[in-house]
Structures are given as C-alpha cells and as structure tokens.
Structure 1
C-alpha cells in the first residue's frame, strides 16, 4: 500500500505500515551520503580538466585521452580476461563446497584450511607468493627436480597476469565457499537422496540438482566475485608486479591509483573510475540476466 494511503488507517495500523520505511531509512541515508553522492561528484569531476585547466569543463576530453592511452586499453583487455576466468573462480569454491557438503573424508579439516587464506592480508599473500614464485624460488626448484625448466611466473608479460589472478582466487575463494555452504542449507536434501537412489552420478547430481537449487546463490557469488576481481586486487598487484612487466598486469583500479597518486591527474582518475563503475554495472547485470535465463530454461 502506498504511504499516502496509510493516513486513513487507524494509528496502530499506520505505524505498522510505516515501520519498515523507518527502519530502512538510516541505511538508505548512509548509502546516499557515502556512496551515491560521492559517485555523482566523481562523475561530474571527470568532465573537468587537470593541471592548468583544473576545474574547467573539458567535455569528453578525459575519456578520449583514456581510450588513447595504451596502458588503459591494456587494463580494459585484462578486464575481459577476468570475465573469461570468472567461471573458474566461481567453480572452484562451488566444487569444494559440494565436497564438504557431501562429507568427503576429512571435510571438517578442509573446511578450516580452505577458509584460512581469506583472513590473510593481500600484502602478506603477495609477499609470500613473491618468494614462492621467484625465478630462484621454491616452486622453480621443485620443477627442476622433475626436469622442467625455471618459469618466470612474474616476469613474463603473458604469464604474470594469470599468476596474479590465480593468487587472488586462492586468497579470496574462502568467502565464496562460506556463501555456497550457506546456500546448501536451503537445498532440499530429498532431491539429492532421490537422485542418489536413481543411480545418478556426481556430475549429473551437480548439473541437474545442485546448480538449479543454488541458482540464487550462484548469482550472488558471480556478481560479488567479479566486483572483487575489479576492485580488490590492488594490494596484490602493488606487491607482486606493480602493474608490470611492461604494464601487462594493469587493471582499471591500479590505473586510477597511478593517475591520482603518482601523476596528480585527479580528473583523469575520476574518468577512469567512472568507466570502471560502468563496466561493473554492465557486466553484473549481464551475468545476472544470463544466469536467470539459464535457470528458467532448466
């Protein structure tokens, strides 16, 4: 019922109708004040100039400069790579949660071990893997024992981006694992039992029972994982590669920091932030739409 129509109700009924709006209002005000309003200011600032043109309207000049910058185009290309690798980043915690839910031997121990990386700082994770993946590090030493040559995990432009993304997935999939386990608590166990009685194999159970039953959970994990990849990899990038080698590991988030903190180009950084926001919005909406469509077809 609209708020205006509550005026004709008894006082108690009016209070009951308005209670949800009153309870939600503080959270909405906080979001508007700390999220939406700064976003509007940032978008507006992206149409102004830097340096001698500071504060002067420049139209789309900053966006044209972004598209002409090879580093920013590389960052956008890496965003495409993240989108392609997203199913892997979601499938890993999903499969591990499935094994834990099905109570494979040692599932209690693995539940603790899998979540442990999520409590580590990205700086610590980056420092640990810098030591492990160094050219003379333990991993290459182990590979040499089986006759494989040393691999430049962080120095090869074609390999470094995959290395950093892999480390990020390892460091963050614990939270997605917890979300999947929470989703399993809403799954109808009778369906699993019926599938087992019918002799369905584990892949068939996962595809025909678990995935449709966890469709909303999967949607949530897909969107939050994608946002995390685009906005939470700065610490790892800074410690492991600093955007190198040859700018191959640049992401829009790192590009924004470089323009704002190193180049003193806040307006250009605001334009890059706006592009990053639009990318997250478009990718998130597209992913949810695809997942809903796939769920409806099942």
Structure 2
C-alpha cells in the first residue's frame, strides 16, 4: 500500500516519488556458459545456463545527468501545491566483493590508499560479522548467502568522511576512485558477490517553483542499493514486504525487465536527515511505515557486514 499512488482524493506518496526518481535503470547483457561452464570469474549458481548482468560503467553513467543537474522529484506540499525538488547524488559508501582476489584490492576513504585485509583476515573478519548476527535480523545471511558460504573477497571499499559541502558529485567521485581501482569501470555485476552494495547521499539544491520557508524541502536522504547480479536471483522481495515494493511503474526491487533488457535497482535501505513534519512520512500514504522499514533494513545490513558507515551514523545522531 505504501508503495502505490493511492486512490482519488488521497495525497500521492512524496517518498515513493523520490525513490522512483532516484532509482537507476541499467541495460543488461547475457553471459553464456563456455563449454558448459560459466567463466571462472563470474559469480553464479551451478544450475544456471547463463547470467544476466550489467556493466558497472553503465550503472555509473545513470548518475551523469543527476550529478550535473540534479534528479527532480515531484513533491506535493501540505497546501496541495506541487514543486519539483532537485537533488544531487554523492557517493557515500561502497563495498565490492568478488570471488577472487583482484590485483588492485584497495580501501579508500578514512584510510585512503591503504591495502585492506589479506585473504585470511578477510575471511575471518567476515565470518565473525556474519556469525554474530542474530537470525532474527531483517536481512538474514541465510537468505543473502545460503549455507553460510563466504561473501567473497573485499576487493574495494570506500566511505566518504568529508563534509557534504566539500564533496564532488557522484560521477566525478567514481571516476576519481577508478584511477586507483580500475575495476570500478571494468567489472560486471556478475563478477560481484550478492553482498556487494553502495550507498548514495542525496542533498537538495533547489526546487521549482520556489517556495519560501518550507523546511521539509531541506531533507537529505541516504539510499542503499545492491549491485550484484546474484542478488537479483534470490529476489530482494523475499526479504521485504509489500510496503517496500515500488509498484507505481510496475517495477519491484531488483526487477529485471526481460523485454527491454534492463534492470532497475531501487533502494533496499534508506536513512533521512532534516525530515520535519509529515511531508515525507504521511501516514495516509504509508510513508511513515515505509521509512521505518527501509531504515531498519539499512541498519540491519550494516550490522551484518560489520560496517561503520560515516554518513549513516551522522544521520541517526543528527536527524533534524
């Protein structure tokens, strides 16, 4: 219910409109088996004849115009007037896990330029973080990765720790980081394990037509997205309920459209900052429930991975 445009006379979901307008849709390709087997570097299931994947470079390109001009989301104000609020995306955090060690395995952010864990440290630390997670968590590791297999080698990690005012937009940061880790533009989603993810920080820049002193339009958001082909196979909807499915355009989380050969990557988690009143949490649209659910999903995801996400921690300690 919360993911739908409601009936006549009911207000639209401002939160869902924001989520729809900031969801990337990427062209997909088919990776066939070679001599009855998939390429060794593809993260796959044995029973698959092929894997549908997308190039990470194509995913980043979805943020090109948003980085330059902002992504516009239609917002209905309490008085009934509608404005288009524009948001600029910034890369907030990312972890890429692969099924083999890449030659340029690096960590960026607070420990910029330093090599991350060795293989043994990686496996041991990840094993501890998964095994210590409650089975009652929202995102259960048995669903994400059956039989408690390793989530893979952490080949790349980045967490933004700088002030929002000193950051460069998403696309610029990705290409800056790719200079030290070319895999950011060379890898395919099929190369990544199901727990590979990224977080995007969305900060408002302007709205049209201009409205004076509408505090809720200063809200900022963190969206969390999976970026692995394998994750689509499990179906993110198995770990969510119907309040989380963006169905305004017929798409579900991680939905691959076979007809158009595309995949949409709606966020599975969300955090918000400077949310006042009910503009983004209108109980009539189910947005309050949706916001709580997506926040819990993000919190659970980070805890299971043993991650300290700087922006997430700031958002929860400075909600207003």
TM-score range (shorter-chain normalised) is under 0.3
Structure having the larger proportion of residues in strand:
2
Structure having the larger proportion of residues in helix:
1
Question: When the two structures are superposed, what TM-score results if normalisation uses the length of structure 2?
Answer: 0.25
Question: When the two structures are superposed, what TM-score results if normalisation uses the length of structure 1?
Answer: 0.26
